[in-house]
Amino acid sequence: MKSDSEIKAAAAERANIYSLTMVNSALQLTGYISGLIGSALSLVVCVMPEWRRQDMVGEVIEMQVKKQGIWWNCQYFSTGQWHCDDFDRMLLGLPPELQAARALMVIGCMFGFLGYLLSNVGLACTSMMADSPESKRKVAITGGTFWLLNGLCTGVAVSFYAALVVQDFYQSGGMSGQGLGSSGGVNTMGASGTRFVYGTALFLGWASMVLGLIGGACQISATCSDNDDDDDDFGAPIPNTNRYNPPPRSEFI
């Protein structure tokens, strides 16, 4: 028979474990939402035609604005019309930095999609694989790892592209010297006298990187902590000391 102090200690420990479990579930869900938003932003960044845009500082007549992505060249006119064209080459003949950006973004989007699928199965708040909690945790950790890889690929792609934009910006004639303005697929958008600056896609890409890294880290850490909590004696019943025990009946002969 346990003493009252032991019973109270067991009840306090049980309440503490329950609180930690709720915190871990909330942290896991936060990581899932952050990773999902980051993956969605990666997809948007991948197809956006504004990785760099024409620098309009010093322009007297702003009749058109030139923008470029990793798939499209676009011109936006002051009349509200716009026109986009691809780079006339799918793979061969493109600058290696453009090919690298495309490859990283496509791989990053694939990682984000896999993270979405696996996280839906491995989250503690879902009923899938409930009969196999250990496998469910492994799936959640794998999904969080894919969130991390998605953010990492997106961050490397946009950071490398941004470094080239800065490098070419300070060259004479803007983008016509080296890098993205070199021959081999990128057409005459980078003609002499045109300077380009950061486009909206780069900032969204950095935001996607941050959300992906935070989401993956939160989901992995919450899942691992939840595994440690389950190793404790969470399911042990606590004796009820308030239960009424009737005295033994006397037998009369």
- How would DSSP label each residue in 76-122? EETTS-EEEE--S-SSTTS-HHHHHHHHHHHHHHHHHHHHHHHHHHH
Does residue 78 belong to any structural domain of this protein?
no
Q: 177 lies in a domain? A: yes
Q: Is residue 184 part of a domain?
A: yes
Q: What mean pLDDT comes out for the span 155-165?
A: 93
pLDDT greater at residue 240 or residue 42: 42
Other beta carbons within 10 angstroms of residue 253's beta carbon come to 2
pLDDT at 252 over 60: no
Which residues lie across from 73 on neighbouring strands? 68, 85
Inter-residue contact 50 to 70 (CB < 8 Å): no
d(CA 171, CA 80): 31
Closest CA to 176 of 164, 166, 160, 188: 188
Which of 47-61, 126-140, 187-201, 207-221 comes out lowest in average pLDDT? 187-201
Q: Would residue 216 count as lying in a domain?
A: yes
More reliable by pLDDT, 104 or 242:
104
| pLDDT (mean) for 231-243 | 45
What pTM, to 2 d.p., does this model score?
A: 0.73
Inform me whether the pLDDT recorded for 245 exceeds 90: no
Query: What does the mean pLDDT of the chain come to?
Result: 77
Tell me whether residue 144 is in a domain: yes
Domain assignment present for residue 247? The answer is no
- Provide, rounded to the nearest whole percent, the portion of the chain with pLDDT above 70: 67
- Average pLDDT rounded to a whole number, residues 98-125: 92
pLDDT at 67: 86
**Reported confidence tier of residue 104, pLDDT bands at 50, 70, 90:** very high
Host domain of residue 25: 4-48+91-230
- Residue 123 CB contacts under 8 Å (≥ 6 apart), including other chains: 28, 29, 32, 140
Which pair of tokens denotes residue 40?
Answer: 């969605």
Question: Is residue 159 one of the residues assigned to a domain?
Answer: yes
Q: What are phi and psi of 76, to 5 degrees?
A: -115, 125
Q: What is the model's pLDDT at position 232?
A: 47
> What is residue 192's DSSP assignment?
T
Burial of 132 (0-12, 13-18, 19+ CB in 10 A): exposed
Query: What are the φ/ψ torsions at residue 251 (nearest 5 degrees)?
Result: -100, 130
pLDDT of residue 225: 74
Looking up residue 185, the CATH number of its domain turns out to be 1.20.140.150
Asked if residue 146 is part of any domain, the answer here is yes
Tally of domains in the chain = 1
Confidence of residue 180 (pLDDT cuts 50, 70, 90): low
Residue of higher predicted confidence among 88 and 119 = 119
Contact between 64 and 56 (Cβ < 8 Å): no
